[in-house]
Structure 1
């Protein structure tokens, strides 16, 4: 199965250009259609007793909103104008917050590209709220593209494998990219106990991938925090894409104690595909 519909958030953040470029690369590579999303946010009615000022406020808010919609549409059109004249593309406007809009529209897409956590953001959330909400509620994988990063569909892909349900879902969701990759490395970070079982699980994953025409290599790392190990190996192996399960344990536990998802989302310098 290939990706046939790519949903990309058009929010004006520092990573928008990289996100759009990645979405276009996927569309070209898989012959997919592109859907650009503008989420208007929740519009509040002005206080009816405010008189003339209420009308002025409503008019200004409507004008600002229309400018945002027009600017997003122009950005989308400019991105696909050349050399992608034949690229199927449409712009959807949803009167909702970005996270909710991505989750609901994303159910009719194959891959969602939300705004990533911005550098320097010290909020306690594991990732930008809209990306987190889309990951947990759309039932589709999300691809986080940091500002300045480039997605090459035929790059070396690093897969983090811990045998969990989210990890299994992520590998399945990433199959179209794994099939095109120049190399695939499955990384198992073995703990103090159960190392043989963890390695056996990695070997079984390689067999499953082989049945889908994907040749992969297994690398077992002993000790260390999984997130930090995956980030280090991504650099050492010059991988262009990192694939992992999102929230292998409860979100509250990761918020309080930290976790692999939190580390990857905040520090990955390459595109990161997550599934839950």
Structure 2
């Protein structure tokens, strides 16, 4: 099933225009509706628990915040409008049949909390890779708490296509969910390549055969390769994806304490910091 609504949480910081542009490119590919959600903290969220500020100070802080919100929204609005025009996406609060649409909204509150809640009401989340590969609370909320497939995009992405798809298979429930979410994309792909390592095929290659047979039922032909891992978790999958000039990585994201493992059970930081390829992940 193709997504009807996608949600892209966005903050400030570097590469703002390229991040918004990248999210719009994804929604354009799906010809669907994208909600770009801007969240800004409240005055109260920055005050330590138990600390009570005088009303006069609170009033001044709230006035400063209001002025700041207007500036932030104006900046995002200008960039959003320009990107929509460039990509030929219609600005609309509601979806329009057979038309790529997008809408910019602003909410006030703790960003990670808002993202964790609002991402539950969409079909797919788009999340820009965090700077230097360090997962923020907002990024973790999008990936780990949404319950939805997440399209992780590089912070600078000039085009989005899915002609060549690579699956990082580790036989986990998370990657199984990611594969199911990616079926509509893989049905249109020219190449779907499965990679795994000996660590995840210790019993036999029967699980790989099961996966390939499952995808064949969806008329998806696949190829398969066992790759060697390195001392840097995540490096092997990314190296294979780059060398093969793949357009999309499909993988699982899971953790025990934060986003510690991603894709082939490797460190998310390496992958997020170095990838120039979007990844469809599921938790």
* TM value normalised by structure 2: 0.82
- Note if 1:29 corresponds to 2:29: yes
Distance 1:168 1:148 in 2: 28
Secondary structure of 1:42 counterpart: coil
| Counterparts in 2 of 1:111 and 1:66: CA distance versus 1, 3 Å | same
Q: Which of the residues 235, 240, 246 maps onto 1:239?
A: 246
Distance 1:106 1:130 in 2: 11
Secondary structure of 1:8 counterpart: strand
Return 22-31 or 226-235, whichever deviates more: 22-31
Secondary structure of 2:139 counterpart: helix
Pairing of 1:113-124 with structure 2 (within 5 A): 113-119=126-132
Aligned length: 265
Instruction: Measure how far apart 1:130 and its partner are.
Output: 1.0
Give the structure 1 partner of residue 16 of structure 2: 16
Distance 1:111 1:15 in 2: 22
Secondary structure of 2:197 counterpart: strand
Instruction: Measure how far apart 1:194 and its partner are.
Output: 4.8
Distance 1:270 1:194 in 2: 26
Check whether the contact 1:17–1:147 (CA below 8 A) recurs between aligned residues: no
Give the structure 2 partner of residue 274 of structure 1: 281
- Note if 1:186 corresponds to 2:165: no
Instruction: Measure how far apart 1:228 and its partner are.
Output: 1.7
Q: Which of the residues 140, 149, 156 maps onto 1:148?
A: 156
Secondary structure of 2:160 counterpart: coil
Instruction: Measure how far apart 1:162 and its partner are.
Output: 0.8
Distance 1:250 1:104 in 2: 21
Instruction: Measure how far apart 1:212 and its partner are.
Output: 1.6
Q: 1:65-110 CA deviation, whole Å, 9 max, x = no partner? A: 1221232233222221342236422222222233222222211112
- Note if 1:211 corresponds to 2:217: yes
* TM value normalised by structure 1: 0.84
Return 201-210 or 41-50, whichever deviates more: 41-50
| Counterparts in 2 of 1:152 and 1:61: CA distance versus 1, 3 Å | closer
- Note if 1:80 corresponds to 2:87: no
Give the structure 1 partner of residue 59 of structure 2: 55
Give the structure 1 partner of residue 142 of structure 2: 134
Return 180-189 or 148-157, whichever deviates more: 148-157
- Structure 1: gaps spanning 5 or more residues: none
Give the structure 2 partner of residue 158 of structure 1: 166
Instruction: Measure how far apart 1:223 and its partner are.
Output: 4.8
Distance 1:179 1:113 in 2: 21
Distance 2:137 2:33 in 1: 26
Instruction: Measure how far apart 1:272 and its partner are.
Output: 2.0
Superposed CA RMSD in Å reads 2.7
Distance 1:246 1:253 in 2: 7
| Counterparts in 2 of 1:183 and 1:67: CA distance versus 1, 3 Å | same
Give the structure 1 partner of residue 184 of structure 2: 176
Distance 1:156 1:239 in 2: 5
Check whether the contact 1:8–1:35 (CA below 8 A) recurs between aligned residues: yes
| Counterparts in 2 of 1:252 and 1:4: CA distance versus 1, 3 Å | closer
Secondary structure of 1:68 counterpart: helix
Instruction: Measure how far apart 1:203 and its partner are.
Output: 1.9
Q: Which of the residues 254, 259, 273 maps onto 2:260?
A: 254
